[in-house]
Amino acid sequence: MKIKPFSTELFFALYEFTAAHMLSSSDCETMSVGELLQKSGRSASDLGQLQLGYTESQGNPAYRKLVCQLYQDVTPEDVVILTSPVEGIYLTMQTLLNPADHVIALGPAYDALHNVAEHLCGQLDLWQLQPTSTSWQLDFDSLNLMISPRTRLIIVNFPHNPTGFQPTPEEFHLLLQIAEENDCWVFCDEIYRGLETGLQEQLSIPSAADCFEKAIVLNGLSKTYGLPGLRAGWLVVRDSALRNQLIGWKHYTTICPSAPTEFLAMQALQVHKQLAIDSSQLVAANLREFDAFVQQYPGHIRWRAPQAGSTALAEIRLDAFNGALPEPVDTVSDYCHLLAKQHGILLLPGVCLGGPANSVRIGLGRRGFSTALQAWRATGHFLSH
C-alpha cells in the first residue's frame, strides 16, 4: 500500500527556494550559526571542537534536561530526541498503531499528521475545526459521536497549523478528559507553542505532557525558535513501555541525533525565551499588517485572524481576482501557481492541508512580509473593474 503524497512538501518543492516573496512559510525568521552561537555566548571554536562520533539514541542527557525547562513536570527520561520534528510523527504512529485501530485527527492539518496514521490503519476520522464568523471552534458533539472502543489515538495540534486556532484551557482539559474516559492516547503536536500572539487576548494552555499520562507530545526548534535547518525535535513520552518501543523503531530510522544539531540545539535552548519573544514580536507585527491589508480589500480576501502560532487561513474570492487577470483561473490552487510562477509570491493552497478549496495559508513569521504584500498589490490583481 502506498502512502498519500505529501501535498504541502510537493507544492513547496516547486517554488520555495526560488520565489522572492514568502507569504506562506510556517517557520519563523531564522539566523546564522554565528548568530546563534553569539546569542548563547559560545564561539565557533567551541563548535569546532565537537567530536563527530555516534550519539546516544535517546539523545544527550544534557539536551534532554534542557528540554525539560519547557514543561512543569517532565523528566529527562521522558524525552526522546529526534533527528527532525517530523520523524516524531512517523515513530509515534508506527509504535502505537495496528491495522484495525481507529484514529481521530483534527482537521485541517499538516499532512504527516493524517497521512501516516491513515496509511497504517486505513481508517481515520477527521475531527474538523468549524469556522465561526471571526474564528474557529472545536465541535465536541462530533468528537463524542466519532469516538468508540476501537479508537486508540486522537491526533491534535495546538497552536494549530494552518488556522492559528488555540483552544481555551477549559476546552483543552475537556478534550483530555474525553480521551481519558475512552482510554485513548493523545498525540499533541505543540511545535508552535510559545507563539500565543493573537490580536485580542493572550491564549496559552499547558502542555499536554504536564496534564495527561497518555499524551505523546511533539515539539522542536523549527517554528517558534526559527531553526528549521537544524532539524531539531523531540517527543515527550511519559509511558516507559511505549517510549522503549518507540526508541526501538528509531533504530530503523535514524539511530541517533546528529552531533552538531545536538550541540546547536542545546545553545538554542539556553536562550529559548528570547528566541520565542523575537518570533512572537515579528508574528504580532505581521498579523496587524495583514489585518489592515484584508480590511483594504474586503471584496478580494477575508480571514479569521489567528489566536496563536505563525499561520492562518485566508479566503480568496476568486471571482474578484479573475476580473483583473488576463486569463481567468479555475481554482485557488491555480491562482497560487500563477502567483508563484509569474510574480515569485508564494501562497500555499489551503487544500494541501485539507482546508477549504477557496483558502490559502498565510505565514506570519518572516521578515520581508510588508515587501511581499507590496509585491502582491503591485501585481494589479486587486484592481477592480
Q: What is the distance between the alpha carbons of residues 149 and 159, in angstroms, rounded to a whole number?
A: 28
Task: Note whether 175 and 165 are within 8 A (CB).
Answer: no
Q: Which among 33-41, 80-88, 138-146, 205-213 is the span making contact with ligand PLP, rule CB under 6 A?
A: 80-88
C-alpha cell at 272: 529559548
Which member of 117, 156, 179, 191 binds ligand PLP (CB under 6 A)? Answer: 191
* CA neighbor of 124 nearest in space, from 110, 105, 141: 105
Q: Residue 164: which residues within 8 A CB-CB, separation 6 or more?
A: 198, 304, 305, 306, 307, 308, 309, 310, 311, 312, 313
**235 binds ligand PLP per the rule CB under 6 A:** no
The interface with ligand PLP within residues 32-61 (CB under 6 A) comprises: none
Residue nearest to ligand PLP (CB): 222
- Choice between 101 and 111, CB closer to ligand PLP: 111
Distance from C-alpha of 65 to C-alpha of 5, rounded to nearest angstrom: 36
Smallest separation, CB 108 to ligand PLP (Å): 11
Among 82-90, 196-204, 246-254, 291-299, which window interacts with ligand PLP (CB under 6 A)? 82-90
For residues 160 and 28, what is the distance between their CA atoms, to the nearest angstrom? 15
Query: Is 216 among the residues that bind ligand PLP (CB under 6 A)?
Result: no
Select from 363, 83, 365, 66 the least CA-distant residue to 230: 83
Q: Does 310 bind ligand PLP (CB under 6 A)?
A: no
Q: Which of 92, 95, 135, 157 binds ligand PLP (CB under 6 A)?
A: 157
**For ligand PLP, how many residues bind (rule: CB under 6 A)?**
12
Select from 15, 71, 110, 263 the one that contacts ligand PLP (CB under 6 A): 110
User: Which residue from 222, 279, 310, 359 is in contact with ligand PLP, where contact means CB under 6 A?
Assistant: 222
Q: Is the peptide bond before 162 cis (omega within 30 degrees of 0)?
A: yes
Residues near ligand PLP (CB under 6 A) = 26, 84-86, 110, 157, 161, 189, 191, 220, 222, 228
